[in-house]
Structure 1
Amino acid sequence: MLLMRTHKIMSQPIKIALVGVGMFGGDVHARTYADLQRFGIGGQLARIGLDAWTRDLAPLHFELTAIAARTEKSAVKAATQFHDSTGHRPLIFHGDEPWLELLDAVPDLDILAVATPDHLHTQPILAALARGVHVITEKPMCLSIHEADTIIELAAQKKCIVAVDMHKRYDPDHLRIRHDIQHRIGTPLYGSAYLEEPLEVSASTFKWVESSDPFSYVGPHWTDLIWHYYRSKPVALTAVGQKRRLIRDNIDAYDAVQVRVDYANGMSIHFHNNWITPSDFEGPVNQGHEIVGTDGKVESDQQYRGFRFWNQGGGSRTSNNHFTRDIPRPDGSSAYLGYGVDSLTACVAAICRVARFNDSPSDVATIYPTAADARISTAIIHAAAIVRDLNFKYLNEGKGTPVTARFGDDGITIIDPTRAEQGLEHVFQRIYSLPL
C-alpha cells in the first residue's frame, strides 16, 4: 500500500504557474520550466552541488500548468512559445490581478513563480501562501521591510517555501570568491559593486520605472551577494540619486542611485546602479565588484570576461556566456544552461524536497536564497529609498545630503539633522521597530 501511495505521489507532476512574462519571466523562467517539463531536474543538479539528490528527484515530472500576465496578448504569446517548445499549452490568465483567478482555477498548484514588476511582488506571494502554495519570486522579494516580515510570518504558518531568484550567488566566479578567495584576502575593509542597465529598460521596456529605481531593481543582486559572502548585517547607510536623463523623456524616475552600506564586521560597500547606459555600449549591461581586505583584494568584472568580438556594422561587443547559453541537442533543440538557470533549479529542488519527500523548509534552507536572506536586502532597499529621497530634496534646496539610516536592535532609524535646523521634531525617526 505504501509503495502504491509513493508511486502516486511521484507520478503526480510538480505543477508550476508563472505570473509575469516580461523580459525575465518570459525568457529565463519560461525556458527553465520548459526544460524541466521535457527532461526533469536530474540533469541540472550536479551544477549546484546537489547530485546526491539525483536519484530521488529524477523520477519527478514537472508541468507549467498556467501563465498569467497583465494583458491577454502577453499571456497568449508566452503560452504559444511554451507550446512550440514542449508541445504543452498552459492555461492563460490576464488582468490586473490575474494570480487570483489562476490560484482558484488550479487548487493543487505546487509553485507560483512571480516575475511581476518590483512593486507587485507582495500581492501574488501572499495570495499563493494563503493557499499553501510554495513561491519562487524574482528579486527584490518586496520593497518594504514590513511586507517582508508579513511574507516570512505567513510562510512559516503555512510551512511553505518562499525562494528568491538571486542568481549572482551561482556565478562560477562568485562561487570561487565565496569558497576560496575571500579567505585569502583577510578581513574585508571596503568594496564597491556596480550594475548599469541599458536606457531601453527604463525608457521603453518597463512601464513601471516611476514606481521603482535602479538600486531597488538591480541593487539586491549585490546586497544579497555581500550577505552571502560574509553573513554580516548592515548597521548604517547613506544614499543619493540623480534625475537628469529620464526627465528629458518625461519619465519622473531616478537615472542613477548610489548607496553606501556599513556592516557589523566593519566593512563599507558602495553600490552604484543606473538604467541609462547608451544602447551602443558593447555589452548587455555593465557590472562588476571588488573587495579590499587586510591581506589582499579581489576584482570581478562580470561584463568583460575576456570574450569580445566585432563585425562590420555591429561594432565591438562582449557577451556573458556564463549566465545562460544554448547547448545543441542531437534532435535539433537546445538545452538551456547557465547560472541564471542554476538559481531557479536550487529553488525548485528545495520545494520538491518539501512537497514530495516531507522535508521541512528548515531542512533545505541552506541550499537556496530564502525569504530571511531577502529580508536583509529589503531592509536596505526600504531605508535607502527614504534616505535617497530626502537627500535629493535637500540637495536641490542647497542643504547638502545629510540624511543617513541606522540599523540596530531597536529597528531602523532615519537620522535627519536638517529637521533640527528647521526647529522640527523627529530628527531620529524610527521607520521600523523590530531588529533586523
Structure 2
Amino acid sequence: MSDSPRSLKVAIIGGGMFFDDIIGQTFKDFIRGGIAGSLNSIGMSHLAPAVANVGIDVCAIGTRSQSSGTAGRIVDWFATDFPGQTMEACYGDAVWNDILANHKPDVLFVATPDNVHTQPILDALDAGVDVITEKPLCLKTSEADAIIAKAKDAGRIVACDMHKRYDPFVREMMLKAPEQYGTINRVRAVLEEPLEVSTEIFAWAEESNPFAYVGCHWLDVVHHYMDVKPVSVFATGQKNLLLNWDKHHVEIAKRRDVDPSTFKRQGSINTWDSIDVAVTYDNGMRGDYNNNWINPAEFEGAVNQEIELYGIYGRGMVDQQDRGYREAIIGDGSRTRNPSFGGRIRHKGGHLEIFGYGKASIAAGLLAIIRRRILGESMETLHDTYPTAASQRDIVQVIEAASAVAEKNYEAFSAGRGTPATALLTESGFDLVGAS
C-alpha cells in the first residue's frame, strides 16, 4: 500500500460474477502498485510519471444481504494480501448511503445488478464522489440524462466499465477500418453468455435481458470507434427455455446425468433467452447485434463473441475462439481461453497480478478521476479519454428501445400478426412505429 499523501479512497458496492477474477484483483494490483503500470494498455503511458505515486486504497465493500456474507468474504480475501489495511464490510438495501456517509470515499465503484446502477450513481454525485460503474450505465434514457446532467453540474467523473473498447484485437481492427475497408455497410456482432448466468449466477435476470447485459459492449465499440448515431431500432426476441425453466431444467439435468434438485433456479424465469437487434445509423450503416444468455456450459469458450465489419473495399473479423489458445483437459473437454481479457501472472515473490483489457477499462476511469481530482485538469481535457456517461447515452437509448420493440413484436407474433414494430429514436427517447 502506498504511503503517498496523494491517494484515492475507493468504496465498492456489489460483489458479483467478475469480482474475484477482474474487479477485486484489479484493485489488489492498484493497492500494491498504483495504476501507472497499466497505462500503456490504454495509450496513456506518457502520464505514468505524473500519477506514479498516487495511492489507491479500498475503504469499504458493500453488498445487499448480510446473510450471504459476500462483503465479509471479500474483506477477508483482501486481508490475505494486505493484513494492515482497514476495510469494512457493509450491508443493506441502500448500502451505498451508509458508505458515503461513514467512509467518505473519493470514488464509488458500482458493481450492482443492471437495474440498480442509477440511484447509487446519483447519490454519490450528490456527495461529491466520482463514480466508476459496471455496464450498462443504466436501463432508461431518462436515467442516463439525469446522470449526465448531475455529473456535469457536480464537475465529477462518471466512467463506465466498457472493456471491449480496450480489447487489443478489436481496437486494432476498428482503428484501421476506415482506411482499409472503406465505407462500412454493415456490422455484425455476437456476444453469447453461458446458461449459468441467467439460471444460477444472476437472481436478477428477470430485471434485465441479454442485450442490455452484454449487447451494450458491442454498441459501445461501434459508437466509439465509428462515430455514428443510431436513428432506428428493430428487435425480436425468444422466450422458449427460461420462461419454461420449470420443465426444461429437468431435461437438461437428465442429459447431464445430474440431480435436477441441484439447480439453483427451478421455477419459470420470465426473461428473454435471446434478443436480436438491428440498428440503422445516421450514415445508413446497419448494425446487427445478437445476444443470448443460454449458451450451454459445454461450449468450448467462457463466452461466444465475435464482431465483423463489411466495407466496400474489404472486411475484418475478430472471433474470440480463433485467437489461438486452446486446451484439452480430462474432465473439462476442449476449451478456448482469452488471457487478453484477464490474464494472470504469479510472481516468484508469491503475489498474483492480472493484465488485460478487463483491468485496462477500470484503469481508464481511475486515471480520469486522478487527473481531475488530484492533477486539477478540466473536464474538457478529459473528454474521450475514458468511457464517459455521455458516451453511453445513445447506448442506453438503443437498449431501452430494443427492449420495448422486442416485447411488442413478441406480443404481435404470439397473436399471429408477424413482427411489425420498430422504434424511431428521438431527442428525448423513441417512438414506436407499426405497433398497435
Q: TM-score, normalised by structure 1?
A: 0.91
Within the candidate set 341, 345, 363, 2:359 is matched to: 341
- Please give the secondary structure, in 2, of the residue aligned with 1:257: strand
Structure 2 letter corresponding to 1:32 = T
Alpha-carbon offset, residue 248 of structure 1: 2.5
Residue aligning to 2:252: none
Partner of residue 97 from structure 1, selected from 83, 94, 99 = 94
Say yes or no: does 1:235 pair with 2:231.
yes
- State the shift of 1:357 in Å: 1.0
CA deviations on 1:42-64 (whole Å, 9 max, x unpaired) are 11112221111111100111100
Letter in 2 for 1:227: H
Letter in 2 for 1:383: A
Give the equivalent residue in structure 2 for 1:124. Answer: 120
Letter of the 1:110 partner, please give it: D
Q: Is the Cα–Cα contact under 8 Å of residues 18 and 25 in structure 1 kept in the other structure?
A: no
**1:424 aligned residue:** none
Q: Does 1:60 align with 2:60?
A: no
Residue equivalent to 1:398: 416
Give unmatched runs, 5+ long, in structure 2: 246-267
- Which runs of 5 or more residues in structure 1 are unaligned? 1-8, 420-436
Aligned residue number for residue 27 of structure 2? 33
The amino acid across from 2:29 in the alignment is: D
Aligned residues: 409
1:257 counterpart letter in structure 2: I
Using the alignment, how far apart are the partners of 2:86 and 2:16 within structure 1? 18
1:137-156 matches, within 5 Å, as 137-156=133-152
- Alpha-carbon distance, 1:326 to partner: 1.0
- Residue of structure 1 equivalent to 2:345: 327
Q: Which of 386, 404, 426 is the aligned partner of 1:368? A: 386
Q: Is the 8 A contact 2:302 2:337 kept in 1?
A: yes
CA RMSD of aligned residues (A): 1.4
Equivalence map 1:256-267=2 (5 Å) = 256-267=274-285
In the alignment, the residues of structure 2 paired with residue 86 and residue 196 of structure 1 have an alpha-carbon distance, to the nearest angstrom, of 36
Amino acid at match of 1:177: M
| Separation in structure 1 between the aligned mates of residue 39 and residue 298 of structure 2, nearest angstrom | 37
- The one-letter amino acid of 1:158's match is A
Which of the numbers 200, 206, 214 marks the counterpart of 2:210? 214
Which of 10, 13, 26 aligns to 1:16? It is 10
2:38 maps to which residue? 44
Q: TM-score, normalised by structure 2?
A: 0.91
Which of 279, 290, 305 aligns to 2:323? It is 305
Kindly provide the amino acid, as one letter, of the partner of residue 156 in structure 1: K
Query: Aligned-pair distance for 1:311?
Result: 2.4
Alpha-carbon distance in 2 for matches of 1:304, 1:164: 28
Distance in 1 between residues matched to 2:399 and 2:30, nearest whole Å: 33
Deviation at 1:409, TM superposition (A): 5.0
CA contact (8 A) 2:35 2:363 kept: yes
Structure-2 separation of matches of 1:299 and 1:175: 12
Equivalent positions of 1:196-211 (< 5 A) are 196-211=192-207
| Letter of the 1:314 counterpart | D
SS in 2 for 1:368: coil
The change in CA–CA distance for 1:102 and 1:230 in structure 2 (over 3 A counts) is same
**Aligned residue for 2:241?**
245
Q: Contact conserved, 1:21 with 1:27, CA < 8 A, in 2? A: no
Percent sequence identity over matched residues? 40
Note if 1:106 corresponds to 2:124: no
